[in-house]
A and B are shown apart, each in its own frame.
Chain A
């Protein structure tokens, strides 16, 4: 065969072969160039992506701190909630084994096994969020198998402990099926303390960036939304641990890439609250409300507040805002219907009305007027004020307004209906004890020439009210504090477009009109008087310990609402417990001086004065007389039999808010009234001060005072029990 072939090598046209060589050379050079570009020029960037591919950060959740009351009673804790989960990669290889596991598991947890895995059934299952019942086991596992076979998928959430235990016992027979333990916040005292403790919720989108930097995982970790859970968030949360691991494409963890950062459990917070006293306070409030509502045959009193505090230390022993909400219902998710229902309730159960709601204080505000009048020398212990049943006063918007029939109207005393002639001539302390409106009209706004300096005047009244804690936030460690309002002539001109009138001063002197205060502010005003002029910082935090129980130092900054483990400007120490003095009015000059004549005052620059101890003592005497004076003492009926010396002040505050207006209750001269009572004991050396407030409660002495009486009584009984328990020998 070969013999017939040509003997010379084949010669093709050279340029055609050359073209082939050139094409091949160009192609290979091009590929080489591209290879070098990728590996040498862009190498670093691609390496980052390769590292990114196999690097996975696993955040290990830190257990949230526990909240206790002052006696170590648990108010908030973490409970284990059990989820049945399946890790697809750990299921057996044999399909019939898998089906057997599904069938047995299905019988235990009542989730369907599911038919054949079809595209349609998977598309259906994809529509369900985790934990929502609906998809079958087969579909859930098939979905997870395509996404992340080494991560568990939740088959059923929140199963009972029994079911969880049975699933655990079957672990050997059910490879791939495990029980996942998820911490759930639990509040044993529920609605009793919810306005104080608050609740947890998911990390909102606005904070996501900031919290992610701190190691939080959105959609998993929760943060405090209100109450102590919110204000102590930074200390309660702890710090999540972090493991940087290498994973393969299926998500299986292979090894730690960096030394793991261990989790730091959250700190435990001890509150100043005594849960027993809190329960008494709430029960007393509800009992009194039910009594009056039954008496009137209608729901008249619908909400109320009770606060108990140690005036010497500022520790809040009980803080009830009724109605509140069941914070355990927010444990897993915040149910929309329940939240909606709460937020639309006109009684604002989601708010802590003890600090967030502003009400007219009524007669309890007379403590400010009395303190001011005494300190400014308008009245002394020997001053006798004539208090007829009603007073004809003329409303002057300008000093030169002439009093005529048109601008003169009667200002009545609360005793007017029972005793039209009024209290008659009474002393300064009787004015307080009897809560005589006429007396305080005169002391506050002057009357003819009967009152020195023409009365205290609104400017000076404002100074004294502020010194007792009104018109500003208290700085307590709770979110959403309202400031209240003590009006000034300037405020009125800005907000109503009218001049300040003499009538405004009269009604402000008795805590009506534009004056608004939170229940906590009223408690603070009473505490200042009770504690001889020393206003303590109200606090709900008693102590903070770390996960091992060692005390932690902590400071709270009320200006920017932060809690830190180091001292910052404007912050006060909250742990270990230190009583913080806000100010002592008898030593700290905070009262701006005014020169007043005929009811018109001008500010003296750089003239700051203190309140004399005598003034405080005179007002204290008045509050004691309210209990001891059998004639007209407002608290005589409630406290005269009380074994311990109690002193206090009642208040019946007229109001006309949206609710009252809607119910057509705002008839002129007969407005509905809130009921207030403020009492402290023992009188000589007070250790408990209680304020009670009943919305639309009516007379302070008959509605709020019995509540206060029960709380003070319970306080001393509990104290006796505690002493007996600490010293058993004394009980025998």
Chain B
């Protein structure tokens, strides 16, 4: 299968951007956990996963993505088994079951489930490419995604449910879903979201939503100005960290908010704030730019793909990275409510990083097998 493979089409810009982002991430995690002996091993672990991830990229890139598509049934079943088991045996964190502990490593199947969902949806859209774009066609894709979505919803992990729904929606969009269906769904969506906000602000519990999730929404929509040390504390400290960074930052290892631990969860959710404090607008801007380059290269691979499946992989991974990054940075900048979505490639998290690298590997696989005007 390696035969006839041209590494000339391997997207080194994408790889470079990914390596730049993960290296920067590892360095920032080192600065963020400095002085905390419990968290110190995380740096080595993140470097290990980054190296593992780069290997994964090359391995996956060298394999034709169509093999994965052909194996979609066993993969789908495997991830579903993992997710079901997780609901039973997983470790609970903040009221949600999200990872397995295997030895010292904790595995988060959810991160891989997102890649699996992309593969499964890519296969569906590839298989159904000649069918009319009616409701049945659209519902088919929803059906395929709903299994994974339901399991993640049961954890419950609303942010990742949202990620999957967005990926599905973008794929539907690109594949030519009817505009009237989009409008109807959008209208329903707006009503649901507004209703959710109103209900949360009034204080009525909604099924499938944890209390803390509703509180986060309320805190974002109507912040309590006196609540400096309560729920808004983390976001406030993130804003202070970012603002204090200025143009050039306070210097690596010298951010007062980060080093004196005023900024919480600074190696995961708020690593963007930590980076912006120590490297300023230059650093923060470069992170956004790097993510933008990665997203652009993924969409570019999708455009050049020889088939729908390849395009969908490119679009899916691009959407995954774009959405997670925007939500995370938006939360850091207090333009979006608090969610647990990490910043792709930069936040600490072995499973997340490996899963993303896997996704990039798939995109590289697509990029390498495109048919351009070269004979």
Contacts and interface: CB of A to CB of B under 8 A. Distances in A.
Interface residues of B, number: 55
A39 interface: yes
Contacts of A31: 288, 326, 329-330, 333, 335
Given A9-B371, A10-B305, A54-B260, A28 B239 contact: no
B363 to A, nearest CB: 14
Contacts of B315: 20
Contact of A38 (B239, B291, B304): B239
A21 B175 CA distance: 15
Contacts of A53: 237, 240, 256-257, 260, 262
B179 to A, nearest CB: 10
Interface string A1-40: 1100111111011001101110010011011101110111
B66 A1 contact: yes
A322 B284 CA distance: 76
Interface string B309-334: 01100010000001000100110010
Nearest to A28: B292
Interface in A122-164: none
A46 interface: yes
A53 B257 CA distance: 8
A31 B329 CA distance: 7
A12 to B, nearest CB: 6
B331 to A, nearest CB: 11
Interface in B275-312: 276, 280-281, 284-285, 288, 291-292, 295-296, 299, 302-308, 310-311
19 contacts: A2-B66, A12-B176, A12-B311, A13-B176, A17-B174, A20-B299, A27-B322, A27-B326, A28-B291, A38-B242, A38-B333, A42-B243, A43-B243, A43-B245, A50-B241, A50-B244, A53-B237, A53-B262, A247-B260
Given A45-B243, A54-B260, A54-B262, A39 B307 contact: no
Contact of A248 (B260, B296, B322): B260
Interface in B66-82: 66-67, 70
Contacts of B70: 1
Contact of B288 (A28, A46, A54): A28
B181 to A, nearest CB: 14
Of the candidates A12, A45, A46, A50, the one having the most CB atoms from chain B within 10 angstroms of its own CB is A50
B166 to A, nearest CB: 11
Given A7-B306, A45-B243, A49-B240, 17 more contacts: A9-B370, A10-B302, A10-B305, A12-B311, A16-B173, A19-B173, A24-B296, A28-B288, A28-B326, A31-B288, A38-B242, A40-B247, A43-B243, A46-B239, A47-B246, A53-B260, A247-B260
A623 interface: no
Contacts of A13: 176
A42 B243 CA distance: 7
Contacts of B299: 17, 20-21, 24
A43 B242 CA distance: 8
Contacts of B237: 53
B174 A35 contact: no
A247 B260 CA distance: 7
B267 interface: no
Contacts of A36: 281, 285
B98 interface: no
Contacts of A248: 260-262
Interface string A43-61: 1011101110110000000
B204 to A, nearest CB: 25
Nearest to B236: A49
Contact of B240 (A1, A19, A46, A250): A46
B42 interface: no
A39 B292 contact: no
B215 interface: no
B243 A39 contact: yes
A121 B331 CA distance: 36
Nearest to B170: A20
B357 to A, nearest CB: 21
Contacts of A24: 292, 295-296, 299, 322
Nearest to A36: B281
A246 interface: yes
A249 interface: yes
Contacts of B285: 32, 35-36
Given A8-B306, A24-B322, A250-B261, A40 B246 contact: yes
Nearest to A9: B304
B241 A39 contact: no
Contact of A9 (B261, B276, B284, B305): B305
B170 A249 contact: no
Contacts of A2: 64, 66, 369
B227 interface: no
A19 B64 CA distance: 29
Contacts of B239: 38, 46
B298 to A, nearest CB: 10
A42 B244 CA distance: 9
A35 B242 contact: yes
A10 B276 contact: no
B66 A39 contact: no
Interface in A254-280: 254
Nearest to B245: A39
Contacts of A32: 285, 288
A276 B196 CA distance: 82
A16 to B, nearest CB: 6
Contacts of B307: 5-6, 10
Among B244, B281, B311, B330, the most chain A Cβ lie within 10 Å of the Cβ of: B244
Contacts of B280: 39
A248 B262 CA distance: 7
A56 B92 CA distance: 38
Contact of A249 (B261, B304, B308): B261
Contacts of B174: 12, 16-17, 20
A149 to B, nearest CB: 12
B244 A49 contact: yes
Contact of A50 (B173, B256, B288): B256
Contacts of A28: 288, 291-292, 326
Contacts of A17: 174, 299, 303
Nearest to A14: B303
A126 B296 CA distance: 56
B276 A7 contact: no
